[in-house]
């Protein structure tokens, strides 16, 4: 009897073993891919949610849920400076948030927001190359107005560095030279920020990190928190430069990069149809020759001077230009920009 059953039992054991191995391999060794991310419940979640369930302290701007109406109003304030129904006063008559800030991811790796990585990603995706941080993932930052911003705004930055609410208010009153925002307006903007916060799927995990992340978070292991935080910047640093034209031994400026910086950076505000600045720029030889001829001057017509120093708002002339810190434009990119201007000026 046992002899008759032995082949059947052996067959069943082998079948179960094969199925078990296949089942394990599909979980452990499947390569990491975006398609799988979307299906994975731990990858589609917002970063703040993942951190929250892992016990990370909640920031003072924490929102449990997005209120869709508030988020919509927040987006309108960001994009149009006021609600589309005209029921509130425009925050600033000089600038919109979108003049300096994007609303999309600016890099394929939120842990690397270097100007080189941002430029490469921006060129690939045709995203404006702007002097201020993107609002995408702003909700997930922990500190604002860091580094040299105290040189520009002094004591005003002190209360903004750990409080998003205050950072938004400073941006409204100083950066955009507008009025103070009301509490409900700032709350709406934070709801909008939450709607475009980082998702775990935005983080640039490699296969091993992804495996660890799934294992840690499934077990509610706090190591998941550190892993998540290692994959995006919590701080936007800022270091200001001088008007000196950079000298980089052996560096060959890149014309295409320079062209993109001029068109997607300079012209984002200075194109005449934008109506933002007092000094219109275009791609005509007349304009580029002027910029090239002024490159060595110590004034606002010099590219290196205006880009690194910007200008300041003064009475009767509130429109000013924010500077590009080294975190937003590298010295190499400055040379790329000046190279493009020189070539076009001499065509």
Measured in whole angstroms, how far is the alpha carbon of residue 233 from the centre of its chain?
10
| Sole binder of another protein in the list 1, 275, 312, 315 (CB under 8 A) | 275
The set of residues, in sequence order, having a beta carbon less than 8 Å from that of 110 and lying 6+ positions away, is: 137, 198, 202, 203, 204, 231, 232, 233
For residues 21 to 40, the per-residue mask of contacts with another protein, x marking binding by CB under 8 A and - elsewhere, is --------------------
Count of residues touching another protein (by CB under 8 A): 22
Choose the binding region for another protein from 106-114, 222-230, 316-324, 329-337 (rule: CB under 8 A). Answer: 316-324
Per CB under 8 A, 94 contacts another protein: yes
CB-nearer residue toward another protein: 152 or 318: 318
Candidate residues 159, 282, 313, 342; the one interacting with another protein per rule CB under 8 A: 282
Of 90 and 143, which CB lies nearer to another protein in the complex structure? 90
Residue 260, C-beta contacts closer than 8 angstroms, at least 6 positions apart: 119, 122, 123, 129
173 is an interface residue for another protein by CB under 8 A: no
Are 276 and 269 in contact, with CB atoms under 8 Å apart? Answer: yes
- Which of 220-240 are b and which e, b meaning 16 or more Cβ less than 10 Å from the residue's Cβ? eeeebbebbbebbbeebebeb
Of 84 and 317, the one with the shorter C-beta distance to another protein is 317
- List 10, 24, 218, 285, residue binding another protein (CB under 8 A): 285
Interaction between residue 150 and another protein (CB under 8 A): no
Where would I find the H helices in 90-182? 115-125, 149-153, 164-170
Phi, psi (deg, nearest 5) at residue 71:
-65, -40
For residue 280, state whether it binds another protein (rule: CB under 8 A): yes
72, 229, 289, 342: which one contacts another protein (CB under 8 A)? 289
- Report yes or no: 184 and 190 within 8 Å, Cβ to Cβ: no
> Under DSSP, is residue 314 helix (H, G, I), strand (E, B) or coil?
strand
Q: How far is the CB of 338 from another protein (least distance, A)?
A: 17
346 contributes a contact to another protein by CB under 8 A: no
Q: Of 221 and 287, which has the nearer Cβ to another protein? A: 287
The position carrying tokens 């993109």 is: 260
Q: What is the C-alpha R_g of the chain?
A: 25
- Give 94 or 260: the residue with its C-beta nearer to another protein: 94
Q: Which residues bind another protein (CB under 8 A)?
A: 93-94, 272-273, 275, 277-280, 282, 284-287, 289-290, 293, 300, 316-319
């Amino acid at each position: 009897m046992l002899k008759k059953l032995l082949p059947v039992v052996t067959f069943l054991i082998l079948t179960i073993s094969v199925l078990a191995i296949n089942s394990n391999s599909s979980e452990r060794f499947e390569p990491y891919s975006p398609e799988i991310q979307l299906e994975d419940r731990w990858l589609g979640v917002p970063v703040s949610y993942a951190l929250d369930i892992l016990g990370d302290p909640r920031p003072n701007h924490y929102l449990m849920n997005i209120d869709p109406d508030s988020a919509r109003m927040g987006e309108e304030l960001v994009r149009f400076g006021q609600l589309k129904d005209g029921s509130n006063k425009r925050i600033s008559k000089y600038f919109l948030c979108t003049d300096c800030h994007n609303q999309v991811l600016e890099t394929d790796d939120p842990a690397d927001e270097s100007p080189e990585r941002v430029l490469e990603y921006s060129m690939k995706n045709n995203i404006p190359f702007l002097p201020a941080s993107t609002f995408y993932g702003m909700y997930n930052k922990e500190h604002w107005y860091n580094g040299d911003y105290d040189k520009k705004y002094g004591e005003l930055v002190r209360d903004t560095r750990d409080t998003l609410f205050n950072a938004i208010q400073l941006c409204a009153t100083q950066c955009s030279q507008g009025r103070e925002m009301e509490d409900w307006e700032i709350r709406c903007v934070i709801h909008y920020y939450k709607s475009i916060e980082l998702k775990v799927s935005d983080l640039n995990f490699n296969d091993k990190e992804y495996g660890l992340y799934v294992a840690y978070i499934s077990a509610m292991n706090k190591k998941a928190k550190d892993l998540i935080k290692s994959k995006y910047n919590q701080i936007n640093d800022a270091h200001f430069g001088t008007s000196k034209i950079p000298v980089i031994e052996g560096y060959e400026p890149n014309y295409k990069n320079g062209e993109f910086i001029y068109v997607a950076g300079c012209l984002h505000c200075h194109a005449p149809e934008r109506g933002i600045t007092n000094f219109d720029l275009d791609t005509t030889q007349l304009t580029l020759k002027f910029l090239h001829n002024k490159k060595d001057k110590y004034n606002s017509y010099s590219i290196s001077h205006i880009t690194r120093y910007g200008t300041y708002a003064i009475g009767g002339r509130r429109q000013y230009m924010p500077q590009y810190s080294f975190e937003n434009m590298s010295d190499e990119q400055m040379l790329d920009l000046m190279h493009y201007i020189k070539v076009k000026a001499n065509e």
